[in-house]
Amino acid sequence: MRMRIDLRPLVVFAAVSVVLSASGMAVAQEDLQRCEGAVTDDAGNPLPGVKIRFKDVDKNLEVQPVVTNKKGRYAHNTLRASSNPGWEISAHLEGHMIVKITALTMSQTGGKAEDETYLVGGDQKVHKVSLPAQGRTISGSKGKCVVDFVMVPEDRHAEVRNRLDAERQAKAGGAPAAAGSPPGSEVAGGSPAPATGAPSPKDPFQKGRELIASGDYAGAIAPLQEAVAAKPDHAEAHARLGEAYLKVENMAEAEPALKKGLELDPTVTGLNFSMGMLYVKKGRLMQAIPHFEKELEMFPESASILQNLAKLYTDTQQFDKAIEKYEKLITLAPDNIEYYGSLADAYKQMGNAAKEMEVYRRMGEQDSSGMAFFNLGNIMFNKNEMTQAAEAYKKAIQQAPDNAAAHYQLGLTYVNLAKFKEAVAELETFAKLKPKDPKAEEAKSLAADLKKMGG
């Protein structure tokens, strides 16, 4: 006699860490920051197609890189806070070398934001700018970092670097480095010597930009208001003012500022992203989508934009479009199992169990945690396909022997297959792994009953 326990497990998947919540509203994720910048040659001409890589130094983990657009601009919107020394940001283009990096960061004492310029030697050993959490050293702060690169062909690197160094030394009132000095040896500190004389008043736009970079959005509003009053056609000033209003939840002021920026120049980096986020916060998801799509046109390989669009399409039940975005994400990062989980969930919501299972099988080729096979087993269990469910749970356990949930589900599956001896072993294993779990006593009680039945 076969006994079936009618327990239907929830399918669990690794959720993508996106900016939007399940409701489609913005999540107040204080550990996320935006990093943007530009890559040019030494004459200031934009360099498209440069790969910008981001590495969490503390965790020794790289996230999805981005590529500069036609204007040489890049942006990454979902860098998580990191322990010191923070993030390393580097630029890569075949046949080219970095000659100069300018990073807008907070000073080591936590003071005002300032530009730090690095001249990069021929060995490229200092080509990575290390940025603390949120691009600053202030723990728990949030905001944006700005890192710009100058790159030149390899055969011009020494010539350009020597020229830039001579210009820097002349500006600082010193002499250029000796011709025989090792590249990079005279810039170990990273910052140029301060110029003599009283500092000139700071441009209000630059001041507002720096305050945004430091996370002081409320403080950035006044100088940015001054900037747009002085230059009404300054598109980026309107864009950053709208961004600041958005961050302090002043939607009434954010919307006209962002719209004015779009009217003046819709290609300003991050402007369409901010406009999309404003509509998300207002619950106007369909209006948000075109703005994220416009930003995606400028940054077609941006993981953060693709994630947000996929989530928006899922929330508005446009599953085909959501699936298209998740597949693009998987193409960009085939070893990111979170993307597979979200893709499978999209198929689940549209009621396509066959495709959902196919995605989990694909995920299983990349995932060593057992999660893919565990979820596959749950789907089989819910379909009452117990033999297939048992095989999937066993694969999950092979990958992760301490996966207590997989042992529990395999135990229930064996009960339904009338394999009571095997069921007892799995249920008892679960109870040992999770003795404080509310189901532990239930599992031990069921195992005891099965033993009496000859298990």
Over the stretch 326-385, which tens digit does the pLDDT of each residue have? Answer: 999 988 888 778 889 899 999 999 999 899 999 998 888 877 778 889 988 998 898 899
Q: Are residues 323 and 211 in the same domain?
A: no
Is the pLDDT higher at 281 or at 103? 281
Report whether 19 contacts 26 (CB < 8 A): yes
Q: Are residues 153 and 99 in the same domain?
A: yes
From the number of C-beta atoms within 10 Å of its C-beta (0-12, 13-18, 19+), residue 297 rates as exposed
Write down the mean pLDDT value for the chain.
Answer: 78
Q: Are residues 97 and 56 in the same domain?
A: yes
Residue 19 lies in a domain: no
pLDDT at 243 over 50: yes
- Helices 337-349 & 371-382 angle (0-180, nearest 10): 20
Q: Is residue 303 part of a domain?
A: no
With a cut of 50, say whether residue 228 has pLDDT above it.
Answer: yes
Residues 162 and 209 in one domain: yes
414 and 345 fall within a common domain:
yes
* Nearest of 60, 10, 53 to residue 35 by alpha carbon: 53
State the chain's maximal CA–CA distance in angstroms: 94
Q: Is 328 exposed, middle or buried (0-12, 13-18, 19+ CB in 10 A)?
A: middle
The pLDDT tens digits of the residues spanning 183-215 come to 333 333 333 333 444 444 568 998 998 888 777
Q: With a cut of 80, say whether residue 395 has pLDDT above it.
A: yes
Residue 200: CA count within 13 A, CB half-sphere: 4
User: What CATH number is attached to the domain comprising 224?
Assistant: 1.25.40.10
pLDDT (0 to 100) of residue 221: 96
Q: Give yes or no: residues 361 and 254 share one domain.
A: no
- Strand, helix or coil for residue 346: helix
39: containing domain = 32-182+205-296
- 87-93: average pLDDT: 84
End residue of a domain, out of 273, 296, 319? 296
- My answer on whether 290 and 178 are in the same domain is yes
Which amino acid does the sequence have at 271?
A: L
Residue 190: inside a domain, yes or no? no
Among 103-112, 177-186, 376-385, top mean pLDDT goes to 376-385
**One domain, residues 286 and 315:** no
Domain boundary among 252, 269, 296: 296
Kindly state whether residue 399 falls inside one of the protein's structural domains: yes
Q: Which residue has the higher pLDDT, 5 or 162?
A: 162
285 & 323 share domain: no
Whether 325 and 415 map to the same domain: the answer is yes
